[in-house]
């Protein structure tokens, strides 16, 4: 019984997928920097591009987090319901 419990615990404690949201969040951070530079330099084009990249980075981070982590949780919950 202890071995089965250890296997289940190891499967549920998996940290895989936490690095997936890193790339879109870095893109969002770059967008925030470009947005700040564009506003400080009074450059409309840089501010707009930075704002768009920031928004896309934030949305992509949420989507990547949901796909990488939440799908595994939902799959486990569906398996428990069966």
pLDDT digits (tens, 9 = 90+) for 19-44: 778 888 999 999 999 999 999 999 99
Which of the pair, 8 or 57, is modelled with greater confidence? Answer: 57
Burial class (CB in 10 A: 0-12, 13-18, 19+), 61: buried
pLDDT value at 15 more than 70: no
- What does the buried/exposed string (b/e) look like for 28-37 if buried means 16 or more CB atoms within 10 Å of the residue's CB? beebbebbee
Quick one: pLDDT band at residue 6, thresholds 50, 70, 90?
Answer: confident
Predicted pLDDT of residue 28? 94
């Amino acid at each position: 019984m202890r071995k089965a419990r250890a296997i289940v615990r190891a499967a549920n404690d998996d940290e895989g997928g936490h690095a997936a949201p890193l790339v879109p969040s870095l893109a969002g951070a770059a967008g925030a920097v470009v947005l700040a530079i564009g506003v400080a330099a009074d450059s409309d084009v840089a501010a707009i591009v930075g704002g768009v990249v920031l928004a896309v980075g934030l949305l992509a981070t949420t989507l990547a987090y949901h796909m990488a982590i939440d799908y595994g949780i939902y799959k486990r919950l569906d398996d428990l319901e069966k």
